Amino acid sequence: MFSGLSEEELIMKVLKCDYDVLENISILEFFNKDDLCSVSNNLLKNFKPYTTDFMNNKKPESDVTHLARADRIYVELCINLRHYWRSRSRALLVVKTYEKDYQDLLTKLQRVDDSVQAIKNSKALKNLFVLIREIGNFMNRKQVEGFRLSSLSKLNFVKDQNQKTFLHYVEKVIRRAYPEYLTFLQELILLQDTSKISVDQLSADTLTFVQSIRNIQKSIESGNLSNPKVFHPDDRVLTKVSVKLPGALRKCQLLEDQHKLIMNDFDKLMIYFGEDSSDTVAKSTFLQKFLDFMHDFKKVQIENIDSEEKDKIYQKGKELMLQSKKAREQRSKSEGGGNDSEHDVVDNLLKRLKGISSDRRRVSTGAINTTTPSTARSTRSTEDDIKLLSRAQTMLEDTKEI
């Protein structure tokens, strides 16, 4: 970026806190590296002929233009300004980045506070925990007044003979008898983002932010930046830093107060749920325990609803099968009664025909030698009856086949 500038032009840009230098955070971070802020005795000894003492107005013994580009820049900045270079570089970096850091930290603190208030004000969650406690007391001989949050994860390990967990049972009871308790899932939805924030790390970052700004103030008041006599004559660091410092101090105080209030509420909430607020592990996993319970609850809710839907489909299919079976039985009975009546009609017809046939045979036997016209008519009638009997028997056989 500055390769087109000469060594002297680049050095003056840095000393005068040029806009291009201050707006390039990578350069400011580079200037804060320990290799540039700490000058070893060997380096100081090797480059001493090229150094300048601004306090005593002592010029270098050797011409710095004879040095390589990187060496000359290193000598004229890091070595000549070694008495305040670290404080100078840190101050410039802080005043250029504090606003962004302030917003990031404040946003994270606000998320933690929103989550704390959501848990604290959720009546549905409290009622749910009371219900879990009462069901547990009902199932056990030993009565308890409460339970630890770590016990929530154990609800998935208590199972019945059908492999249904205690949490399955709790979810079903709540959904059927206390559906208003289900609102806790929406009330605590903020925890999905907040659980990713490490509370301990957030506190450490906040304290570091506050301390870094206060250190700059001390450096200007009584530290390495308090004596302009050791400064390079063209150094404008105090001008740039002093303009930004009052605003940085105000936000530093605001963030510190906000952090104290939020962490105080956080610790009180932990104590309310029986957790040790001084335990770093308990503090870092506190919000995650609520989120894990929400995930487990949603999971068993889906499983319960799916199981109930399958049971409904099974029962509906079973009812349809029973109805179909009853309908078939009724049709079978009605068809069976119709066949019996048909058989009765045919049997009666056959009996009548057989009776007529017997009478005709008796008449023909008694008058075998008679050749009167009436006898001839009787003979023809007997033949007709025999034909009728044959047709009736044929019809009976056909009916049986049907």
Handedness of CA 115, 116, 118, 123 (dihedral sign): positive
- pLDDT at residue 392 in the model: 57
- CA 37, CA 24: separation in Å to the nearest integer? 19
Q: What is the pLDDT of residues 285-315, one digit of tens each?
A: 999 999 999 999 999 999 999 999 998 899 8
Instruction: Tell me the pTM.
Output: 0.74
Q: What is the pLDDT of residues 187-232, one digit of tens each?
A: 999 999 898 899 999 999 999 999 999 999 999 999 999 998 889 9
**Identity (one letter) of the amino acid at 376?**
A
- pLDDT at residue 390 in the model: 65
Stretch 365-384: mean pLDDT? 50
Stretch 347-372: mean pLDDT? 54
- pLDDT at residue 339 in the model: 53
Any idea where the domains of the chain sit in the sequence?
Answer: 7-82, 108-283, 284-401
Tokens representing residue 124 in the block: 């549905």
Q: Which helix (H) or strand (E) holds 111?
A: helix 85-121
Stretch 147-158: mean pLDDT? 84
At the topology level, CATH places domain 108-283 in Methane Monooxygenase Hydroxylase; Chain G, domain 1 (1.20.58)
- CA 14, CA 81: separation in Å to the nearest integer? 12
Whether residue 340 has pLDDT greater than 60: no
Q: Which of 93, 94, 78 lies closest to 11 in space, CA to CA?
A: 78
